[in-house]
Amino acid sequence: MKTVTEAEVLALIKENRSFVLTAHVSPDGDSLGSLLALYEFLTSQGKQVTIVLDDILPPVYRILPHWEAIRSVDEVGRINADLLIILDASTADRIGRVGEIVHAPTLNIDHHVSNRGFTDHRWLDADAAATGELIYRLIEKAKASLTKEMAINLYTAIATDCGFFRYANTKPATMRIGAELLAHGAEPNVIAEALETVSMNTMRLTVRALQTMAFFAEGKIAIITVTKDMLANDESTDELITYPRKIEGVDVAVMLKQRDDSSVKVSMRSRTVDVSQVALQFGGGGHARAAGCSIEGSIEEAREKLLAVILPKVGE
Interaction between residue 291 and ligand 5GP (CB under 6 A): yes
Among 80-88, 187-195, 205-213, 215-223, which window interacts with Mn ion (CB under 5 A)?
80-88
Residues 6+ away with beta carbon under 8 Å from 181: 136, 146, 151, 154, 155, 158
How many of the other CB atoms lie within 10 Å of CB of 227? 14
Contact in structure between 38 and 57 (CB atoms under 8 Å): no
Among 7-15, 76-84, 95-103, 279-287, which window interacts with ligand 5GP (CB under 6 A)?
279-287
Interaction between residue 277 and ligand 5GP (CB under 6 A): no
Q: How far is the CB of 224 from ligand 5GP (least distance, A)?
A: 12
**Considering Cα of 221, then 272, then 27, then 207, what sign does the dihedral take?**
positive
Contact in structure between 165 and 178 (CB atoms under 8 Å): yes
Choose from ligand 5GP, Mn ion, none: what does 121 bind? Cβ within 5-8 Å by kind.
none
Chain centre to alpha carbon of residue 72: 18
| Per-state percent for the chain, helix, strand, coil, to nearest 5 | 40, 20, 35
Q: Which of 12, 186, 293, 306 binds ligand 5GP (CB under 6 A)?
A: 293
| Contact string (CB under 5 A) for Mn ion, positions 157-176, x = contact | ----x---------------
Among 138-146, 215-223, 242-250, 291-299, which window interacts with ligand 5GP (CB under 6 A)?
291-299
Direct distance between the N- and C-terminal alpha carbons of the chain, in angstroms, rounded to an integer: 40
Interaction between residue 292 and ligand 5GP (CB under 6 A): yes
Choose from Mn ion, ligand 5GP, none: what does 290 bind? Cβ within 5-8 Å by kind.
ligand 5GP
| Contact string (CB under 6 A) for ligand 5GP, positions 53-92, x = contact | -------------------------------------xx-
Task: Tell me the C-alpha distance between 174 and 29, whole Å.
Answer: 15
Q: Specify which residues 53 forms β-bridges with.
A: 72
- Chain residues binding ligand 5GP by CB under 6 A are 24, 26, 90-91, 94, 112, 267, 284-287, 290-294
